[in-house]
Chain A
Amino acid sequence: MSSIKLRCQVDYSGFVLDVELSIPAQGITGILGPSGSGKTTLLRALAGLDRHAGSVVSVAGEVWQSEDDFLPVHERRLGYVFQESGLFAHLNVRDNIEYGHRRAVQRSPMEPLVSLLNLGDLLDRDVATLSGGERQRVAIARALAANPRVLLMDEPLSGLDVARRSEIMPYLESLHQELEIPIVYVSHALEEIARLSDQVVVLENGAVVANGPVAEVFTRLDLPPAHWDAAAAVIEAQVVANEDDQLVQLKFSGGSLLVPALNYVSEDVRLQVAARDVSLTLEHQSGTSILNILKVTVTDIAEDEPGQVLVQLDAGGTALLSRVTGRSARELDLKRGQSLFAQVKGAAVLR
């Protein structure tokens, strides 16, 4: 399988980035890390927007930068979506999208893109009149109109409010399905990465601390994401049946789950289960309002915040996380290999 390789060392005053990584040249790879971890620097180095001596970049076998060579940005077939959209103020929406289209090495028709991102009504509009979400959709269309070999996205949702973000998410998800090119998606938001990525690279203080499938990286207790406030496990499930009372039954390797009924487009569903929403009992409880009780085995335990403990669980091959108090952990005498029940209070359907 071909890959995107990057080796980069950057030393600004007070900030060091030192990475060497290889990510797949297909699907969506998320680059996750807190502010200041070097995500944007990494993405810009990959794109060639900043040129750092000694960096090596190759995409699907094509060398973009090496010891002796540097392919200028405009000669790389890439698409880049900036955090603040960067739409050209002097052009309307259509001309913005055409800007990339016109310069594409091989031009494919623009219509599919316009309808994919639902921009039909906006084409003649002045850029200044667009909302944040509309701007980002135009920016994405513009980047894709240039027919890139890889799409790079730098925290495209950071500048948007919650409403706009949920408005745009479906479009990003559809990109995943519709595009054959790899997408590298930088964000500090766990949920965005969880929702969109197949693979995730975790950056901390300018270094790569994890690089692997999302479900695995998020539930390993030796990696940062499990220790974040929003720590969650990612579950792939299938829709089994629609229940009468606004609930839907899902099935996954660890059993079944009931979630609120929404319009599910496909049979395959990805769920996010937050560590704080999973509590543990030694016996299967009855007479509780929690509907989802799963049989699990403890696979790992780690200290978290003072007085808090993180527990990694295995449910039929799917990993889950639970965050409990230190006292509970002692009273339940939690240890590796122990069998118990996980009560899942809420599961957010990502897609």
Chain B
Amino acid sequence: MITPEDINALLLTLRLAFVSTAVLLVAGTPLAWWLAHTTRAVKPVCEALVALPLVLPPTVLGFYLLIALGPDGPVGGLMQFFGATPLAFTFAGLVVGSVIYSLPFVVQPLQDTFASIGRRPAEVAATLGASPVDRFFTVTLPLARRGFVTAAVLGFAHTLGEFGVVLMIGGNIPGVTRVASIAVYDHVERLNYAGAHSLSLSLIAISFLLLLAVYGFNRRLRILPV
């Protein structure tokens, strides 16, 4: 049967996925917009950087993140300078890791959507008196609805399954950084296959139901011709 600790791990995993996805949607949208429209020479460099987490082993990501977050690392050192609490072994640290890890899964669908919408709708809105912010929210965003749903789903699902990065920077603290994937791993390590089963099946069931709900909603959004 599923234990309270495992339920904790599940809730932690869901929290991490929600928070990371939210951060990525907010931060990733301007980046995706810029990538979709810029013609600067630096664009391929940025695109390669965004795509990097796709090809790097998560453990490599986690390894360097651990070093970077440490007091001698670029991020940790800076944070220490400003008196901020270090990120390693914290939920916030996991969010940072997840954001990097799932970045391409959110930015790329958004970029594709913005590119396919093109500049015309925004131009039209400008001639009708809409300021840049206005036309982003009243024209670009609604037209990009489906892209946003895809980006959110991919980012969320990808974070649910995150393991390698968390393994490196999490510290396996119950209730804080012990996410479901780590908990399953621990169960297996201890040959507690029953526990591994119940936790894994729960995670699969929850994920499936969530995705089903999202795709069901997405179906009701018409494909908007642009």
Q: Which residues of A contact B (CB under 8 A)?
A: 47, 49, 72-75, 77-80, 82, 84, 86, 88-90, 99-100, 103-105, 128, 142-143, 146
Contact = CB atoms under 8 A, between A and B. Distances in A.
Nearest to A89: B224
A72 B134 CA distance: 14
B107 to A, nearest CB: 23
Contact of B127 (A78, A88, A104): A78
11 contacts: A74-B127, A74-B130, A74-B135, A80-B127, A88-B125, A89-B225, A99-B125, A103-B134, A105-B129, A142-B128, A146-B127
A130 to B, nearest CB: 12
Interface stretch (B88-96, B116-124, B209-217): B116-124
A74 B124 contact: no
B120 A104 contact: no
Contacts of A74: 125-132, 134-135
Given A86-B120, A88-B139, A89-B225, A47 B127 contact: yes
B169 interface: no
A250 B205 CA distance: 83
> What range describes how many residues of B lie at the interface?
20 to 34
Nearest to B144: A90
Contacts of B128: 74, 99-100, 103, 142-143, 146
Contacts of A47: 127
Given A90-B143, A104-B129, A128 B123 contact: no
A82 B127 CA distance: 10
Contacts of A72: 126, 131
Interface in B191-226: 224-226
**In the complex, the 3 A-B pairs of residues with the closest C-beta atoms, listed nearest first:** A103-B129, A80-B127, A100-B128
A74 B131 CA distance: 6
B143 A100 contact: no
A77 B139 CA distance: 19
A49 B125 CA distance: 11
B189 to A, nearest CB: 51
Contacts of B226: 89
B130 A49 contact: no
Contacts of B138: 99
B143 A49 contact: no
A81 to B, nearest CB: 9
A100 B130 CA distance: 8
A328 to B, nearest CB: 51
Contacts of A146: 127-129
B131 to A, nearest CB: 5
A86 B129 contact: no
Given A88-B139, A89-B226, A90-B224, A80 B124 contact: yes
A69 to B, nearest CB: 17
Contacts of B130: 74, 99, 103
B194 to A, nearest CB: 50
B57 interface: no
A127 to B, nearest CB: 8
Contacts of A143: 127-128
Contacts of B123: 49, 73, 82, 86
Nearest to A76: B127
A143 B226 CA distance: 19
Nearest to A86: B124
**Max chain A CB contacts within 10 Å: which of B127, B131, B138, B226?**
B127
Given A73-B127, A74-B129, A74-B134, 19 more contacts: A72-B131, A74-B126, A74-B131, A75-B129, A77-B129, A78-B127, A79-B127, A80-B127, A86-B120, A86-B123, A88-B125, A89-B225, A90-B145, A99-B125, A99-B128, A99-B130, A100-B129, A103-B130, A143-B127
A89 B143 contact: yes
A73 B224 contact: no
Contacts of A84: 120
Contact of A86 (B121, B132, B134): B121
Contacts of B127: 47, 49, 73-74, 78-80, 143, 146
B225 A128 contact: yes
Contacts of A99: 125, 128, 130, 138
A77 B127 CA distance: 8
Contacts of A128: 225
Given A49-B123, A82-B124, A128-B225, A90 B129 contact: no
B74 interface: no
B73 interface: no
**Max chain B CB contacts within 10 Å: which of A72, A82, A99, A146?**
A99
A47 B124 CA distance: 11
B133 to A, nearest CB: 10
B142 interface: yes
B31 to A, nearest CB: 23
